[in-house]
């Protein structure tokens, strides 16, 4: 059944965070201000690569109204950050490696004054040769950006004898795919408020996807105990992976502590562009072969990923890509070599899809090309090579068995869109001879969780508070995905509480347990598992206390809206507020566990996967080479739908981003400098691009005995669209695309009116 408001019935709920969002009352962390606060700004390098000869701050410091000018000298702790490997300087000491590198920061009484103070900081640079191409960076004669060279990470994987397997192939396809430097474009740029408290602690109000990780990193930079820092990190005006790593937090914190006054930072869009993360541009070369019947025999892949100047999660993204260039298909032999390379380009890092988008664009492209060589239907060709439920994962690791691959494969030909395609040939030609219609499809198998070898904690806490609220505390963040709504819905549906009974606490390190990060399509799964673990103990504690208070056997009671109810009649017997008063001791249950992983050694291997098939219909205008997406269908097998509105929104929203990735988005750089500074030249889809039809078919069934419940759907909608569109474009105009965004020039044709039966009017 397609997912929409009508089919969801009463499960389609108004989000708890909805009213303040539609009225503008919700205070985002960048909306906050306090009397007496200062305004912070960061001085960043104008050069992609340079030696710092000297930094003089006297003139800026001498300005009235300027309260602090900080440089690397003023960092009390580790002058580095980075979630996985801290090598990103808070303030550069002697060298800058990209145009976002920070050199100094100021706090002043107004933003205008702070901007002026930045201009008066005198930095003498000696420009160095720019390494703007990862292939060049790998050469021996390339300048070395770090002491250990320009290779950030390599990850190779192989099984079988790939040379031998290629020799046995009847058909071989080789192609190099390249993908753009996509920008997250969260509508709220980075920022926040940093408050030194009277008791000596520091409160950081700034968006992040993992408050406790920020707290750890800030403690390391500030050289103070984590307990002395409170990070308030939600609500967030969009993130998509882009705010997981630290951004302005080190500067706000250092300035607040240096001045003893609250400091506000809020990046301009250009500041966000130059300093922020982007999706890794990758070049992926694939050579793939089959036997005469279409069985995949050999697959050889080389991935080169442009990491930019520092590590953040580039190694982890590369690992993810290695897994996903193999994907859901079975081969006799495969060999993947991959490298993530330091350059003087912008910072690359975490972005929804996490390397899967690039990998799957390439892999699905190979499938379509091979099917053509074989003269087979591309979808039928995929079926021949598709994994079975009990097959190991892409890296040979055991994974939680589901039938998702077959399910989404079967759903696609049954979709309205695909059935229309079958009839399309007989339909009338488009309105204009230069408009060409095409259909395409792609298959996605996407891992969730952080994978083997990376700490991936989960957990949460339920409390009956003294004021009679059921408080659910989780260390997750709300950046729009509907986490609060999903948590509320699960508490209502699984426990029987009413929405008015609930208080949801997230996004505040002083108030939440360690639930791990809100990344990798993991939070909803982990909340579901937490509640499953908490359900029996918390219910029995509540019912036990109620039984004692009411002098009734616990089995005659149940949890319900407003309080404890008679199990048979539903009558309200004891309000939660009264229960809180009568309970002899506070009722608190907490759980702590880890995201399930595969029992293997290989770092990053995943255990839980979601599957998706995507079908699209496009129209190509051969006069202009522009592509319009007319219709899309997404089948998603990811277990039960926790929150219908959120689920639909994640697939639609992910697909919208993928459309930008496919057709228009690229933060173009020239010699290490961004040519796109703002949203006048970095273009993301408007409503005009995304007004086509859209259907989502959730496939909820899981094998009997499956304990893992809902799988992640936060990323999968952003993955399959690009290869589906590429195939549809080929179907329309016969041009293969290996580079994104699709170059319209390649799709152009000079109109041939001779063949249009021209008659003078």
Rg (CA), the chain: 27
Among positions 383, 628, 736, 739, the unique one binding another protein when judged by CB under 8 A: 628
Counting residues that bind another protein (by CB under 8 A) gives 99
**Binding positions for another protein, 322-361, rule CB under 8 A:** none
Q: Is the dihedral of CA 726, 727, 728, 733 positive or negative?
A: positive
| Nearest 10 degrees: Cα torsion 444, 450, 451, 457 | -140
Query: Counting contacts by CB under 8 A, is residue 293 touching another protein?
Result: no
By the rule CB under 8 A, 270 interacts with another protein:
yes
Are 232 and 508 contacting, i.e. CB atoms less than 8 angstroms apart? yes
| Exposed / middle / buried, residue 749 (Cβ in 10 Å: 0-12, 13-18, 19+) | middle
Q: Does 759 bind another protein (CB under 8 A)?
A: yes
- State which H helix or E strand residue 192 sits in: strand 191-196
Smallest distance, another protein to C-beta of residue 459, A: 25
| Secondary structure of 167-189 as H, E, C letters | HCCCEEEEEEEECCCCECCCCCC
Of residues 368 through 427, those in contact with another protein by CB under 8 A are none
Closest distance of CB 30 from another protein, Å: 8
Helices then strands (H, E): number in the chain? 19, 30
| Rounded-to-integer distance, Cα 624 and Cα 743, Å | 11
Supply the minimum distance, in Å, between the C-beta of residue 612 and another protein: 15
- Give the three-class secondary structure for 408: helix
Three-state secondary structure call for residue 320: helix
379, 381, 479, 576: residue in contact with another protein (rule CB under 8 A): 479
Q: Does 497 bind another protein (CB under 8 A)?
A: no
Bridge partners of 122?
56
Query: Among 131, 236, 527, 573, which residue sits at the site for another protein (rule: CB under 8 A)?
Result: 236
Exactly one of 122, 135, 422, 432 binds another protein (CB under 8 A); that residue is 432
25 binds another protein (CB under 8 A): yes
Query: What's the CA gap between 621 and 124, in Å, rounded?
Result: 51
| Cβ at position 188, least distance to another protein in Å | 5
Say if residue 741 is preceded by a cis peptide, omega within 30 of 0.
yes
Residue nearer to another protein on the CB measure, 117 or 321: 117
Q: Closest approach of Cβ 278 to another protein, in Å?
A: 14
Under the criterion CB under 8 A, does residue 758 sit at the interface with another protein?
Answer: yes
Q: To the nearest whole angstrom, how small is the minimum distance from the Cβ of residue 679 to another protein?
A: 4
Q: Is the peptide bond before 235 cis (omega within 30 degrees of 0)?
A: yes
* 3-class SS letters over 327-391: CCECCCEEEEEEEEEECCCCCECCCCCCCHHHHHHHHHHHHHHHHHHHCCCHHHHHHHHECCCCC
Least distance (Å) from another protein to the CB of residue 680? 5
Round to whole Å and give the CA distance between 752 and 761.
Answer: 18
Q: CB-based contacts of 645: which residues, under 8 Å, 6+ apart?
A: 5, 8, 12, 13, 15, 482, 485
d(CA 550, CA 552) in angstroms, rounded, equals: 5
Among 308, 516, 625, 639, the residue binding another protein under the rule CB under 8 A is 625
Question: Residue 642 CB, nearest distance to another protein (Å)?
Answer: 14
26 binds another protein (CB under 8 A): yes
- Residues of this chain, 161-200, that bind another protein according to CB under 8 A: 184-189
Q: What is the nearest approach in angstroms of another protein to the Cβ of residue 295?
A: 37
Q: Does 687 bind another protein (CB under 8 A)?
A: yes
Nearer to another protein, 664 or 728 (CB): 664
- Determine, following the binding rule CB under 8 A, whether residue 662 of this chain makes contact with another protein: no
Q: How far is the CB of 520 from another protein (least distance, A)?
A: 18
21 in contact with another protein (CB under 8 A): yes
Q: Does 614 bind another protein (CB under 8 A)?
A: no
The reply to whether 16 sits near another protein by the rule CB under 8 A is no
CB of 17 to another protein, least distance (A): 7
Using alpha carbons, select from 113, 380, 79, 97 the residue that is nearest to residue 250.
79
Would you count residue 428 as binding another protein (CB under 8 A)? no
Query: What does the DSSP assignment read for 212-261?
Result: HHHHHHHHHHHTS-GGGEEEE--S-S--TTTTSS-SSHHHHHHHHHHHTS
Contact pick of 11, 18, 175, 499 for another protein (by CB under 8 A): 18
- CA–CA distance, 344 with 709 (Å, rounded to integer): 43
Among 742, 714, 745, 715, smallest CA distance to 729 is for: 742
Q: Minimum distance from CB of 758 to another protein (Å)?
A: 5
Binding mask 633-652 for another protein (x = CB under 8 A): ------------x--xx--x
Nearest 5°: the CA angle 714, 341, 306 is 50
What is the DSSP code (8-state) at residue 501? Answer: G
Q: Tell me if 67 contacts another protein by CB under 8 A.
A: no
Q: Cβ 75 to another protein, closest distance in Å?
A: 28
Considering only residues 9, 24, 200, 584, which one is a binding residue for another protein as defined by CB under 8 A? 24
Smallest gap from residue 237 Cβ to another protein (A): 3
Query: Alpha-carbon distance 640 to 327, whole Å?
Result: 23
Among the listed residues 498, 683, 700, 736, the single contact to another protein using CB under 8 A: 683
540 binds another protein (CB under 8 A): no
Phi, psi of 559 (to 5 degrees): -75, 145
In the complex with another protein, the residue whose CB is nearer, 93 or 689, is: 689
The answer to the question of residue 657 lying near another protein (CB under 8 A) is yes
Q: Which of residues 96-135 bind another protein (CB under 8 A)?
A: 110, 112-113, 116
- Tell whether residue 34 is a contact of another protein (CB under 8 A): no
According to the binding rule CB under 8 A, does residue 305 interact with another protein? no
Q: Which stretch binds another protein (CB under 8 A): 234-242, 328-336, 377-385, 730-738?
A: 234-242
Out of 62, 500, 536, 572, the only residue in the binding site for another protein (CB under 8 A) is 62
């Amino acid at each position: 059944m397609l997912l929409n408001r009508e089919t969801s019935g009463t499960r389609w709920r108004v989000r708890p965070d909805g009213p303040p969002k539609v009225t503008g009352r919700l205070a985002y962390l960048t909306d906050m201000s306090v009397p007496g606060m200062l305004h912070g700004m960061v001085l960043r390098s104008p050069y992609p690569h340079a030696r710092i000869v000297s930094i003089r701050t006297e003139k800026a410091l001498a300005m009235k109204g300027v309260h602090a000018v900080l440089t690397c000298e003023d960092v009390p702790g580790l002058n580095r950050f980075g979630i996985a490997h801290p090598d990103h300087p808070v303030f550069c000491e002697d060298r800058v490696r990209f145009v976002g590198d920070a050199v100094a920061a100021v706090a002043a009484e107004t933003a205008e004054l702070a901007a002026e103070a930045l201009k008066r900081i005198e930095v003498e640079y000696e420009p160095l040769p720019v390494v703007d191409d990862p292939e060049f960076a790998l050469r021996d004669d390339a300048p070395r950006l770090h002491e250990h060279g320009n290779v950030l990470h390599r990850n190779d994987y192989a099984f079988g004898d790939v040379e031998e397997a290629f020799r046995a192939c009847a058909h071989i396809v080789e192609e190099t795919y390249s993908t753009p430097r996509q920008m997250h474009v969260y509508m709220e740029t980075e920022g926040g408020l940093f408050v030194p408290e009277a008791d000596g602690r520091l409160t950081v109000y700034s968006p992040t996807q993992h408050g406790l990780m920020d707290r750890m990193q800030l403690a390391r930079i500030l050289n103070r105990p984590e307990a002395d820092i409170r990070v308030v990190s939600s609500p967030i005006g969009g993130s998509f992976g882009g705010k997981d790593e630290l951004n302005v937090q080190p500067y706000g914190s250092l300035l607040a502590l240096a001045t003893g006054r609250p400091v506000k930072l809020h990046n301009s869009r250009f500041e966000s562009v130059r300093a922020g993360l982007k999706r890794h541009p990758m070049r992926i070369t694939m050579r793939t072969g089959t036997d005469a019947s279409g069985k995949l025999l050999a697959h050889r892949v080389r991935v080169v990923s442009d990491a930019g100047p520092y590590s953040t999660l580039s190694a982890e993204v590369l690992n993810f890509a290695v897994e996903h260039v193999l994907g859901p298909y079975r081969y006799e032999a495969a060999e993947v070599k991959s490298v993530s390379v330091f350059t003087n380009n912008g910072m690359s890092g975490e972005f929804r899809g996490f390397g899967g988008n690039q990998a799957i664009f390439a892999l699905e492209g190979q499938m379509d090309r091979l099917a053509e060589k074989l003269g087979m239907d591309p979808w039928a060709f995929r079926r021949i090579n598709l994994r079975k439920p009990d097959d190991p994962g892409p890296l040979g690791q055991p994974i939680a068995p589901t039938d998702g691959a077959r399910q989404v494969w079967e759903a696609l030909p049954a979709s309205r869109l695909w059935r229309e395609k079958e009839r399309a040939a007989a339909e009338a030609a488009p309105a204009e001879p230069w408009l060409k219609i095409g259909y395409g499809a792609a298959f996605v198998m996407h891992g969730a969780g952080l994978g083997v070898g990376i700490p991936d904690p989960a957990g949460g806490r339920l409390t009956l508070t003294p004021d009679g609220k059921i408080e659910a505390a989780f260390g997750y963040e709300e950046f729009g995905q509907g986490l609060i709504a999903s948590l509320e819905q699960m508490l209502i549906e699984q426990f029987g509480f009413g929405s008015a009974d609930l208080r949801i606490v997230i996004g505040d390190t002083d108030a939440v347990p360690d639930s791990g990060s809100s990344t990798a399509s993991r939070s909803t799964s982990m909340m579901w598992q937490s509640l499953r673990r908490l359900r029996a103990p918390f219910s029995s504690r509540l019912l036990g206390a109620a039984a004692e208070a009411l002098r009734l056997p616990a089995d005659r009671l149940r949890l319900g809206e407003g309080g404890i109810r008679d199990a048979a009649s539903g009558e309200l017997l004891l309000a939660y507020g009264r229960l809180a008063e009568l309970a002899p001791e506070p009722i608190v249950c907490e759980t702590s566990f880890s995201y399930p992983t595969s029992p293997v050694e290989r770092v990053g291997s995943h255990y839980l996967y979601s599957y998706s098939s995507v079908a699209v219909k496009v129209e190509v205008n051969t006069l202009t080479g522009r592509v319009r997406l007319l219709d899309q269908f997404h089948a998603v097998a990811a277990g039960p739908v926790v929150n219908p509105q959120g689920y639909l929104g994640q697939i639609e929203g992910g697909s919208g981003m993928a459309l930008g990735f496919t057709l228009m988005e690229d933060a173009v750089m020239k010699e290490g400098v961004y040519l796109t500074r703002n949203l006048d030249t970095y273009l993301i889809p408007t409503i005009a691009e995304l007004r086509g039809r859209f259907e989502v078919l959730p496939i909820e069934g899981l094998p009997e005995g499956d304990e893992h419940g809902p799988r992640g759907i936060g990323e999968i909608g952003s993955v399959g669209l690009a290869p589906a569109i590429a195939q549809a474009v080929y179907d329309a105009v016969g041009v293969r695309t290996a580079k994104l965004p699709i170059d319209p020039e390649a799709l152009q044709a000079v109109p041939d009116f001779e063949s249009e039966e021209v008659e003078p009017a």
